[in-house]
A and B are shown apart, each in its own frame.
Chain A
Amino acid sequence: MDAKTIDEIIEKYKNPSGMVLGILEEIQNINKYLSKDALIYVSKKINVPFSQLYSVATFYSFFNLNPVGEHIISVCTGTACHVKGAAEILKSLEYLLGITKEESTEDSKFFLTTHDGCFSLNAARCFGCCSMAPVIKVDDKMYGYVTIQNLPKILKEYGWSKK
């Protein structure tokens, strides 16, 4: 991400309240993750120590410090989804995408990316869509009443094919 874009984002946050989270979120929305360079640049620009930005980025589950796949699949693991089988959905997705939980990331958040970089899989806390449990989200689209059987159909919408 170039400096100009970051400058423009910073410019939007004149009010100190919510500034740090707001800037980091906007950068991540565009870039999908927070690179070290971007964090260093922001730190200098807004005069907040790098250590603080780093602790913020690792504390909140929203931020990723590593590049992510083209499509991000988030499985809701809220209570309603848990009761309705979110764990099995997650497991099936790991299987379908050919990735397993064993690999862990630098910030120890559960975020798995396929080798071809097409998909990233993670577990989300709750989308507040509990009435349609179990729920998954692919990029910005939410899918309710998901079953293990219709997972391949959803994945195919994003260019997945069975190996």
Chain B
Amino acid sequence: MKITSLEDLENIARKGLKKLNPDNKVRISVGFATCGISVGGDDVFKTFKEKIYERKLNNLELCKTGCIGFCGEEPLVNIKMPGKSIVVLHRVTPNDVDDILQKIENETYEFHKAFFKIDDWDHVTSKIHYGDGYENIPKWNEIKFFKPTKRVVLRNSGIINPEDIDEYIAVGGYRSLYKVIKSMTPDEIIEEVKKSGLRGRGGAGFPTGLKWEFAKKEQSDVKYVICNADEGDPGAYMNRNEMESDPHMIIEGMIIGAYATGATEGIIYIRAEYPLAVERFKKAINDAKKYGLLGEKILGSNFNFDIIVTEGAGAFVCGEETALIASVEGEIGRPRLKPPYPAQKGLWGKPTNINNVETWSNVPVIIAKGGDWFSKLGTQKSPGTKVFSLVGKVKNVGLVEVELGTTIDRIVNYIGNDGVNNGKIKAVQTGGPSGGCIPENLFNTPIDYEHLAAVGSIMGSGGIVVMDDDTCMVDTAKYFLDFSIDESCGKCVSCREGLKHMHDILDDITKGKATFEDIDTLKELAQTVKVTSLCGLGKTASNPVLTTLKYFYKEYEEHVKHKRCFARVCKDLIRYVIAKDECTGCTICAKRCPVNAINGEKGKPHIISQNVCVKCGICYDVCKFNSVKKLSEAIGGEK
């Protein structure tokens, strides 16, 4: 069926709402994004399926949903009884399934893994009252993890079934597309996007409306829009989740962008490492086509636009627009000098507009609620919200969407640690391998493009990796350089050679072989690479080195002067010993040692031969009595 009128859209919305919020059925949905699956969500789903069949529960709907963002509590299961609130259960295992179904059958509903409930949900493009009840379970926004958040991009994540277009339409989806096609001119759309103040969420923060305007101005028979879904920042995974949880919002944004800029072909360039996202996109595209929302004569108008999915092949540099274009063209992904900008000469030499997943996700909201509404969120210079992935040494890992301008402290300590571990956090690293490490004393920094730049970091795609005292900052800088070297396309000398030299110096530092002069050279090289590289990768690759030198100089000093690693990470500066008095002689360490460096009789204290030990740390990990010690001693002193 092809949708051509608002009535058609409303009919489907009603159908979708019946699935999403059934009034005569129980709906169980299992968090089925990659994060949920990797900790057993698929087993939970499978078990539900089997047990529902066994128990012949006909009045029960089992479906998949995306991820609500609290990944640390996965697998999450939503239970929706008719007229009642959605109850979200956490850390569900296949063993819980029988109990859950039993309670549903007996209508007792005292789910022992109940985490929070949802009475009302603001889908931004609509509001839905799901139900009431369950006095003893906290509301979702009473939980510290969700309290300071503002969900615009994640408006439907974890609630709707991402594989069902009807449910997306039920929560107000494709209304913005309808609005632009039936009642707005391309200039009006661009004006609205400009008014919103939306800036590109890929990292550089270029005003989206302006970018669209450039693409629209170009005269050409063919124009392209591209969704940059090549999220390669290690430690950042919000785009994966957005694609897996709500693919239609991105598609709707792209169609609106194509209509505004005059594009006829769209490409979603997505990482091959995200197979589930690829699969869901392909299904979403097909479903949109069936409804006449994509393809020829969209919504009965004369506007034709199609989207294809292109998979990347594992090259970080392809996140750079010009490299991405080369990659789509079947070349190796090397960036080129700008201008000409992609808006002038992009894919196959034609005007091309590239935006990040999250940028596209904001578009339907801007059309639905207006640019003014959007511009009031966040700060004046950086309006809107941003999804951050909060990972590393933090209690509540997950995706956090907050208004821009929220402080690091609020995200890391309030949302992330919930008061636990407070003093132990040492730094956060934002913006992926090209971002910087920000020390704890700067945690009152508001997160937006300008403030992060001022402390030497970037927002990038929005990864926040939390580091504690067990993280060595020199090793961290080395790790990121290692990454950047591997991912450098090799086009310019400064990046190709400079980073390698920097890495060698850092390597010497971590081995206790470097001098203070080397640190000066390191700094000089870092500055040079920063100003002389062609693309963003090279220009920002020095950030981890420069920020760690600036904020954690003491750690560098320790490595150079005292040959000691505070965090006991750098292999050459540590040694493992067994505390005689604490060793029970259980022999497990000797059994697991790969190089047979541990000797001793059963029941008696063991000894590690220092000249044989390769410092793999297995003994340290397997010892149940904490009698294996990791030491990093300064010359002339014990730590």
Contacts and interface: CB of A to CB of B under 8 A. Distances in A.
Interface of A: 15-22, 24-25, 48, 52, 55-56, 59-63, 77-84, 88, 91-92, 95, 124-133, 135, 140, 142-145, 147-149
Contacts of B420: none
B332 A56 contact: yes
A22 B74 CA distance: 33
B460 to A, nearest CB: 11
Contacts of A48: 330
Given A21-B310, A144-B38, A88 B621 contact: yes
Contacts of A130: 234-237, 389, 391, 397, 463, 465
Given A15-B308, A128-B231, A133-B391, A79 B328 contact: no
A52 B331 contact: yes
Contacts of A84: 392-393
B467 A126 contact: no
20 contacts: A16-B330, A17-B310, A18-B309, A19-B330, A21-B327, A24-B313, A25-B272, A25-B313, A62-B312, A83-B476, A88-B616, A126-B234, A128-B236, A130-B463, A131-B389, A131-B397, A132-B35, A132-B38, A144-B38, A149-B621
Contacts of A55: 332
Interface in B318-340: 327-333
Given A52-B331, A79-B465, A92-B618, A62 B314 contact: yes
Pick the 4 closest A-B CB pairs, nearest first: A20-B330, A18-B310, A78-B234, A131-B71
Nearest to A25: B311
A62 B251 CA distance: 26
Given A62-B272, A143-B38, A148-B621, A82 B310 contact: no
Contacts of B231: 128
B313 A61 contact: yes
Nearest to A143: B38
A148 B237 CA distance: 24
Interface class of chain B by DSSP: mixed
Contacts, number: 175
Given A18-B308, A59-B332, A130-B236, A83 B467 contact: yes
A44 B71 CA distance: 47
Contacts of A22: 310-311
B67 to A, nearest CB: 9
Given A62-B313, A130-B389, A132-B39, A79 B273 contact: no
B308 A80 contact: no
Interface of B: 34-35, 37-39, 71-72, 74, 231-237, 239-241, 265, 267, 269, 271-275, 308-316, 327-333, 347-348, 389, 391-393, 397-398, 429, 432-433, 463, 465, 467, 471, 476, 479-480, 483, 487, 489, 594, 616-618, 621-622
Contacts of A19: 330
Contact of B237 (A21, A92, A128): A128
A151 B309 CA distance: 35
Contacts of B312: 21, 60, 62
Given A22-B310, A132-B71, A125 B273 contact: yes
B328 A80 contact: no
B273 A128 contact: yes
A125 B311 contact: no
A28 to B, nearest CB: 9
B313 A21 contact: yes
Contacts of A78: 234-235
Contact of A91 (B232, B392, B398, B616): B616
A137 B234 CA distance: 16
A88 B594 CA distance: 12
A92 B38 CA distance: 21
A60 B314 contact: yes
A133 B275 CA distance: 19
A148 to B, nearest CB: 5
Contact of A80 (B314, B465, B618): B465
Nearest to A123: B486
Contacts of B429: 79
A29 to B, nearest CB: 9
Contact of B235 (A16, A24, A126): A126
Contacts of A15: 308
B273 A59 contact: no
Given A77-B234, A148-B618, 8 more contacts: A18-B309, A20-B331, A80-B235, A128-B239, A130-B235, A131-B397, A131-B398, A132-B39
Nearest to B241: A128
Given A129-B34, A130-B236, A63 B273 contact: no
Nearest to B269: A18
B109 to A, nearest CB: 29
Contacts of A61: 313-315
A28 B511 CA distance: 40
Given A22-B310, A130-B236, A125 B272 contact: no
A131 B333 contact: no
A114 B558 CA distance: 41
A17 B347 contact: yes
B622 A142 contact: no
A45 to B, nearest CB: 13
B235 A88 contact: no
A126 B397 contact: no
B274 A128 contact: yes
A128 B316 CA distance: 13
Contacts of B432: 79
